[in-house]
Amino acid sequence: MANHQATHRTIMAAFHISRRMAQRDNLPIGAKRGGRERLGDVFRMLGLNRGAEIGTKKGEFASVLCAANPDLILFCVDPWSAAFGGAQDVHDRYHKQAVSVLAPFKVTILQKTSLEALADFQDGSLDFVYIDANHSFDCVAPDIIFWSQKVRSGGIVACHDYFSHIRGGVVKAVDAYTHCHHIDPWYVTEEVYPTAFWVNP
């Protein structure tokens, strides 16, 4: 596994992670300060300037990432389709809002499912991926497995909504992936709807 200690030090400093993380505890670690909005600053500090957001909805978090880093080239992937729940007119409004909100930034919008969009990226071609699409285990587990391959070694893989809720499979998918791939340490933001993230081996 590649040595990415400088990246880990930047993450710890940005989030004021406790010493427990620095001792490489295998448990996910909560940040003492800063929610997922802080990730935009961390990505900028680490020079992560090419990323993908899987599940964009209204474009709100994508705009946070872009505003934090003027050099960011971001690909926003979302089918905006009633086939995945909800009324089509609602998805159409979300899509229109995302296009409007993200217009000032270097954003490419891909109206595709997460698995369809994989073909648009070479392995190792992204600096980070932020997964926030369908949260069922059967959807988020493949998203983690396949989109991690698109992120270069030393980049960041992040998954939103790392908490237990009805029909939510993010916790089990993240726990399984990080365990099976011997990822240690990894991080969880300390907020109501946490984000789990790690440095790609």
Beta partners for 187?
29, 197
Per-residue pLDDT at 18: 44
What proportion of the chain, given as a percentage, has pLDDT over 70?
89
Q: Would you say the pTM of this structure is higher than 0.95?
A: no
Closest C-alpha to 173, from 184, 182, 183, 162: 162
Fold of the 5-199 domain: Rossmann fold (3.40.50)
Per-domain boundaries in the chain: 5-199
pLDDT at residue 5, rounded to an integer: 86
Which of 12-16, 74-78, 84-88 is most confident?
74-78
Report, in angstroms and rounded to the nearest whole number, the Rg of the chain calculated over CA atoms.
16
Tokens representing 117?
């969009």
- The CA distance from 134 to 143, in Å, is 9
Q: Reply yes or no on whether the pLDDT at 186 is more than 50.
A: yes
